[in-house]
Amino acid sequence: MKAHDGMYIDGAWRPAAGQDVIEVVNPVDEQVIGTVPAGTAADVDTAVRAARAALPDWAATPPAERAARLGALREVLVARADEIAGTVTAELGSPLKFSQAVHAGVPIAVAGSYAELAATYAFEEKTGNSVVHHEPIGVVAAITPWNYPLHQIVAKVAPALAAGCTVVVKPAEDTPLVARLFAGAVHEAGLPAGVFNLVTGLGPVAGQALAEHPGVDLVSFTGSTAVGRQIAAIAAGQVKKVALELGGKSANVILPSADLAKAVNVGVANVMSNSGQTCSAWTRMLVHRDRYDKAVGLAAEAAAKYGDRIGPVVNAKQRDRVRGYIEQGVAEGARLVAGGPEAPRETGYFVSPTVFADVTEDMTIAQEEIFGPVLSILRYEDEEDALRIANGTVYGLAGAVWAGDEAAAVAFARRMETGQVDINGGRFNPLAPFGGYKQSGVGRELGVHGLAEYLQTKSLQF
Ligand code: NAP
Ligand code: MG
């Protein structure tokens, strides 16, 4: 148990305004592993002022120099990759190998991509008799969740810094330790004081104060739809820009010509990864009626193989919420073919890898985001039916299509109301825009589209 002190504000660790702390718990054994200060509106105000004060110089720093700082930040993340992975494993509970490959690996890739983009992006363009300057939007508030705790910070901070913005981050209360580690990395990379600031604290206290602060120009939020709505309402009142990344209920569409075993196995792995706590997870598998029973058998087998190889979910509240959804699925008539609501272990926030068959569109488990290792398999009659089911939720974040013929998969994907689709198991690309259609959000992260979120244009006419 370590008591961590201070907030990273204006280039140094400074005492928090209040005395309250947040306990950080290891979800594997439920032990308290540390505490961090619970920030208040006073800490947020100090941080936003520091970010505002640092803005003019950072905005005027040549992009090549901003790129060099981001390159240095990437190098520090590389040097500290083991520490990052160990920290995420301790506070989120994910297996160490996954933490190394994903929780440490992806932020390195994203930081590197923005080091390159900052150096190559055309911050100035000509159109007709105008020169258009792409200028930083200003002070950014980044409010982040716990499921990919460092990735979600870097996916906001790296493009913001590349754009010339300054930032205040409020990380999730469950995973503040990797955020503190990141603040140390920013410091080591030599970013000027005030360009990056970190305030740990509770969402309704520090998070809300940050979203409401008049010194903030853009709020970039990732998390639940309920909180996203509140943040959008606050921002609307002050006419400030928001970017919202809010979860999904993505469909894995297995067309009749697809390699069924591959599509099912990759589909189950996609849902079980990170214990199901992935906003873009393909939590609905859609299978043609002729191959439905076969797919269900394969999925049940694949899920059973996970056994207790997956980690716990992040906290007791999430465990209870996920188990509540499993109970509701049973109550609404879905058929359990793997897992179930019982706790697989006495300690730790574990949930059994669970698969439901005979799920129909109207069921709660087919509509709401569960955020746990739970897969629903739905039956479709023909392609039109599959498309209707795939598009039949309020969400539109991600999806997958499998077909024998790539062109057929692409044709189907183009009709899906969703921000990204993996074709026959296509890999994650940190340069491709990530974000939602419909209620999955507003705006895009990653790559050049993610950079554009932090820029506004100024046209000079000659
Ligand atoms: P959440 O409450 O929306 O948390 C996201 C972030 O917003 C956290 O930093 C949180 O702080 C902060 N926050 C909470 N209330 C706030 C407020 N009133 N004003 C400003 N900031 C606020 O999400 P959660 O409770 O951790 O998870 C609940 C559900 O959200 C999950 O089951 C899942 O369905 C969904 N979710 C989606 C994603 C995604 O990637 N799209 C990620 C996480 C969760 P605290 O940490 O202190 O609450
Ligand atoms: Mg919360």
DSSP 3-state assignment of 358?
strand
Residues 305 and 336 in one domain: yes
Ligand 1 centroid to residue 176 C-alpha, Å:
13
Residue 289 is part of a domain; what is its CATH number? 3.40.309.10
How many structural domains compose the chain? 2
Place 419 in a pLDDT band, splitting at 50, 70 and 90.
Answer: very high
Euclidean distance between CA atoms 458 and 138, whole angstroms:
14
Residues 110 and 41 in one domain: yes
pLDDT in the model for residue 308: 72
**Closest residue to atom 18 of ligand 1, CA basis:** 204
pLDDT in the model for residue 171: 99
Active site residue 245: yes
Q: Which two tokens stand for residue 232?
A: 């959008």
DSSP 3-state assignment of 77?
helix
Residues 183 and 41 in one domain: yes
Residues 10 and 128 in one domain: yes
Euclidean distance between CA atoms 409 and 253, whole angstroms:
9
Mean pLDDT of 309-323: 96
Give the model confidence (pLDDT) of 18-63 as tens digits.
999 999 999 999 999 999 999 999 999 999 999 999 999 999 999 9
Residues 210 and 296 in one domain: no
Nearest atom in ligand 1 to the alpha carbon of residue 201 is: 47
The CA-atom distances, in angstroms, between 326 and each of 206, 340, 364, 365, 456 are 33, 6, 10, 8, 45
Average pLDDT, the chain: 97
Mean pLDDT of 225-248: 96
Give the model confidence (pLDDT) of 337-396 as tens digits.
999 999 899 999 999 999 999 999 999 999 999 999 999 999 999 999 999 999 999 999
Residues 213 and 75 in one domain: yes
Residues spanned by the domain of 371? 251-430
pTM over 0.85? The answer is yes
Catalytic residue among 23, 65, 212, 245: 245
Place 17 in a pLDDT band, splitting at 50, 70 and 90.
Answer: very high
pLDDT in the model for residue 292: 98
Give the model confidence (pLDDT) of 367-379 as tens digits.
999 999 999 999 9
Mean pLDDT of 147-166: 98
Site to substitute for ligand 1 among 224, 277, 321, most atoms within 8 A of C-beta: 224
Cβ pair 350, 344 in contact under 8 A: yes
Residues 424 and 313 in one domain: yes
Cβ pair 194, 178 in contact under 8 A: no
227 lines ligand 1 (CB under 6 A): yes
Give the model confidence (pLDDT) of 257-314 as tens digits.
999 999 999 999 999 999 999 999 999 999 999 999 999 999 999 999 987 789 999 9
Chain centroid to Cα 268, Å, comes to: 20
Residues 216 and 270 in one domain: no
Residues 81 and 101 in one domain: yes
Residues 150 and 12 in one domain: yes
Residue 47 is part of a domain; what is its CATH number? 3.40.605.10
Within 273-423, residue ranges assigned H as helices are 292-306, 316-331, 364-367, 383-390, 406-413
Within 93-125, residue ranges assigned H as helices are 96-98, 105-120
